[in-house]
Amino acid sequence: MKVSTKATRSHRLRMLIAALALSAGLAAVGHATNTFINPPITEMKFVDTGIGPLKAAPGFGDFTKGAHSTFIKLPAGFVTPLHVHTADYYGVVISGVVANAVDASVTDVPLAPGSYWFQKGKAAHVTKCLSATECVLFITQPSKFDFEKSN
């Protein structure tokens, strides 16, 4: 049975809204002592991830320990090696232009700010910052962030 493009887009939109609602709800739990939070990106504390030049700042949770939504910075022109993550995740482009593909030889689908993708856990992929400026992503994952190079 062929699914229409409109139905596929609608499904993707519902999945994105669900992921963002989940992260917003969990962020509220993670900041229960605050009645309001709104840190500008310029005030976020980005730390080394231990994965090349990638830097991370928390949205909610601790990306090294469990469920989280995290801002990730990729330098301009950066291309990850082929790698896998244990768990599925959703990525939303905040700034820059990103591509996420099964390997580096696949023709890039440029994802501008506001675009998103879903990455199945244990599926090898390459993530690229196609921009001349750094890329900032917002990822949501149900378990800790891990990164294992793939052959």
Full set of structural domains in the chain with CATH: 5-149 (2.60.120.10)
HSE-up of residue 54 (Cα within 13 Å, Cβ side): 19
Mean pLDDT, the chain, whole residue set:
83
Would the pLDDT of 151 be above 80? no
Q: For 75-114, how does the pLDDT look when each residue is reduced to its tens digit (9 = 90+)?
A: 999 999 999 999 999 999 999 999 999 877 889 999 999 9
Would the pLDDT of 120 be above 70? yes
